[in-house]
Amino acid sequence: MPAAVHAPNRRQAAAEKRRQAILAAALEEFAEQGFAAARLDDVAARAHVAKGTIYLVCKDKQDLFEHVVRNAIQPVFDRLTLARDPSAPLDQVFAQLIEFFRKEVLGTKRRQLVQIFLKEAGRFPELAAFHHREVFSKLLGLVGEIAARAEREGILRSPAYAKFPQLVVAPMVFAIVWDTIYGKLAPLDVEALLAAHREAMFGQNPTKEQNHG
């Protein structure tokens, strides 16, 4: 009986391990080759599975790419969801989000996924529609909630950040665009850029100013 009970769990664990291996291999393939040039055969080779096994995870290459993007972006959404905690000091929340972006997006292959959208969305409008629906709209919704709370608490230097959450994420998007186009010619000091952005939103020490105001 115990063996019968644990067998489905072992199968589920093996299936999830296989799925994660395929997604990791697909991330590598898409990051290196782009969407158009990526091949499912090469994804299978990277994941050390038969090509047919990939179809247990997705129906085609675009579906696989969408799975990869969702898998890659989920930690960002998780961090933003935690940032909605009303007890968290908002300037610190934004500082943590900016640091997370610097390390976990710009510093990883997630950056290259964004670059794929920048480079190939014109050829594949369905990718742009997917990215807007599943990534950017959700991102702006979460950022907008946090910025609105910051505006209510009076720690934003301008109400424009709450009205247009695009302004909050604009320097991060710009950093990726710059890296895509000019990174090899003129590397951007992203850390300094994002520090300046935080100061523009909150001032040098907004929590201290608020507590003494």
Res 143: pLDDT: 87
Res 209: pLDDT: 43
Res 210: pLDDT: 44
* Structure confidence by residue, pLDDT tens digits, 45-77: 999 999 999 999 999 999 999 999 998 888 778
* Structure confidence by residue, pLDDT tens digits, 160-195: 999 999 999 999 889 988 988 898 999 999 889 988
For residue 48, count CB atoms less than 10 angstroms from its CB and return exposed for 0-12, middle for 13-18, buried for 19 or more.
Answer: exposed
Q: Which two tokens stand for residue 55?
A: 């179809």
**For the chain, what percent of residues have pLDDT higher than 90?**
41
Higher pLDDT, 21 or 142: 21
Res 7: pLDDT: 65
Confidence of residue 1 (pLDDT cuts 50, 70, 90): very low
| Cβ partners under 8 Å of residue 94, min gap 6 | 146, 150, 168, 198, 201, 202
Q: Are 65 and 26 spatial neighbours (Cβ–Cβ below 8 Å)?
A: yes
Residue among 171, 166, 153 at smallest CA distance from 89: 153
* 159 DSSP assignment: T
* Global confidence as pTM: 0.77
Q: Are 162 and 144 spatial neighbours (Cβ–Cβ below 8 Å)?
A: yes
Confidence of residue 155 (pLDDT cuts 50, 70, 90): confident
* Structure confidence by residue, pLDDT tens digits, 122-142: 899 999 999 999 888 988 998
Q: Whole-angstrom Cα distance, residue 174 to residue 39?
A: 29
pLDDT over 60 (residue 208): no
Contacts 24+ apart (CB under 8 A), 175-184: 175/106, 176/105, 176/106, 176/111, 176/114, 176/115, 176/118, 177/118, 179/106, 179/111, 179/115, 180/115, 180/118, 180/119
Question: Hunting for tokens 């909630």 — which residue is that?
Answer: 145
Q: Whole-angstrom Cα distance, residue 136 to residue 65?
A: 16
Confidence of residue 5 (pLDDT cuts 50, 70, 90): low
